[in-house]
């Protein structure tokens, strides 16, 4: 399956993507995680992306699209993928369509996670991620690690992301409303959007997502 996950910052896209990708046996491709890995490795790409990320702005399309295409062309993504954080504006969605068309394949669904703004702010404020792997995500209240500050999965140090400050989160939400939300209408016109509430326990949201994707395939 080829799926796009969409939703505001802090909606739980990364958290859900980890479970959904495992259940569906497809790779989880997060452009945010790819940028963060480049930043921690000190690559030129990471240096280019950092200022935009710290400001809560989108990294320019030419950089992002090239990085996403490169990742999607790797062998593990040939038969499907779960995209998290890409595309993030209509230009990126058009570039993805072009890429898929050139390979004679299509998206199966766009899973839209709906969460009220006050909840995403709470989720972001308490988020802690692992220095070894930013896919290992915790929350100080909703999903606390067994030992404070230590990743349950790999014992890595947990930290708060640089772009999780109140001011940056406000900018990220605004960028989401103005630049990313329009892709929902773009994909709705293609009949691809499945919207679910992402409120409630993580496992309940995963169950709701799997059921919505299954129903979408049957329709
Ligand atoms: P990115 O890393 O994609 O950030 P984001 O979209 O803002 O999303 P988040 O990672 O903040 O949240 P999430 O929805 O994954 O939530 P999570 O699962 O962690 O992008 C960062 C930056 O990179 C962008 O601002 C931009 O600069 C750049 N970038 C990335 N992609 C780009 C692109 N395509 N183009 C241009 N620039 C790009 O959950 C949040 C918290 O809530 C966690 O603590 C979690 O434990 C908790 N939680 C999750 N689910 C639940 C639940 N059901 N109940 C209670 N708590 C929950």
208: which residues sit within 8 A by CB, 6+ positions away?
A: 196, 197, 200
170: which residues sit within 8 A by CB, 6+ positions away?
A: 56
User: Side-chain half-sphere of 14: how many Cα atoms within 13 Å?
Assistant: 19
Is 65 a member of any domain?
no
Is 210 a member of any domain?
yes
pLDDT, position 19: 93
Which of the following is catalytic: 88, 123, 128, 208? 88
The pTM for the full model equals: 0.95
Mutate to test the pocket of ligand 1, among 4, 6, 12, 144 (most ligand atoms within 8 A of CB): 12
Is 48 a member of any domain?
no
Centre of ligand 1 to C-alpha 108, Å, is 22
Task: Count Cβ atoms below 10 Å from residue 141 Cβ, excluding itself.
Answer: 9
Centre of ligand 1 to C-alpha 12, Å, is 6
Listed in sequence order, the DSSP H helices in 43-194 are 44-55, 61-72, 90-102, 117-125, 166-175, 182-188
Total count of domains within the chain: 1
CATH classification of the domain holding 131: 3.40.50.300
pLDDT, position 135: 81
Is 198 a member of any domain?
yes
Is 133 a member of any domain?
yes
Alpha-carbon distance 80 to 100, whole Å?
11
Each residue's pLDDT tens digit in the chain (219 positions)? 999 999 999 999 999 999 999 999 999 999 999 999 999 899 999 999 999 999 999 999 999 999 999 999 999 999 999 999 999 999 999 999 999 999 999 999 999 999 999 999 999 999 999 998 888 899 999 999 999 999 999 999 999 998 998 889 999 999 999 999 999 999 999 999 999 999 999 999 999 999 999 887 777
Burial tier of 80 (Cβ tally within 10 Å: 0-12, 13-18, 19+): middle
Alpha-carbon distance 93 to 65, whole Å?
10
Contact in structure between 184 and 112 (CB atoms under 8 Å): yes
Centre of ligand 1 to C-alpha 85, Å, is 8
Is 66 a member of any domain?
no
Q: Which residue range forms the structural domain that includes residue 9?
A: 2-27+74-218
User: At CB < 8 A and 24+ separation, what contacts does 150-159 make?
Assistant: 154/130, 156/130, 156/131, 156/132, 157/130, 157/131, 158/128, 158/129, 158/130, 158/131, 159/128, 159/129, 159/131
Helix (H) / strand (E) element for 205: namely helix 202-218
Is 84 a member of any domain?
yes
Is 40 a member of any domain?
no
């Amino acid at each position: 399956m080829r799926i796009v996950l969409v939703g505001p910052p802090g909606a739980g896209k990364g958290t859900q993507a980890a479970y959904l990708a495992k259940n569906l046996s497809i790779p989880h491709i997060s452009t945010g995680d790819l940028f963060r890995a480049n930043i921690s490795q000190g690559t030129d790409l990471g240096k280019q992306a950092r200022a935009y990320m710290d400001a809560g702005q989108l990294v320019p399309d030419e950089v992002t699209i090239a990085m996403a295409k490169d990742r999607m062309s790797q062998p593990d993504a040939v038969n499907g993928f779960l995209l998290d954080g890409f595309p993030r504006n209509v230009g990126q969605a058009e570039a993805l369509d072009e890429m898929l068309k050139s390979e004679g394949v299509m998206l199966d669904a766009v899973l839209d996670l709906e969460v009220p703004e006050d909840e995403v702010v709470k989720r972001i404020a308490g988020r802690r991620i692992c220095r070894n792997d930013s896919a290992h995500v915790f929350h100080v209240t909703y999903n606390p690690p067994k030992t404070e500050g230590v990743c349950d999965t790999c014992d890595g140090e947990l930290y708060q992301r640089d772009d999780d400050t109140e001011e940056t989160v406000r900018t990220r939400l605004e960028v989401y409303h103005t630049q990313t939300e329009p892709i929902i209408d773009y994909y709705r016109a293609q009949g691809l959007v499945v919207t679910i509430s992402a409120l409630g326990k993580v496992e309940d949201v995963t169950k709701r997502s799997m059921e919505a994707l299954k129903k979408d395939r049957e329709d």
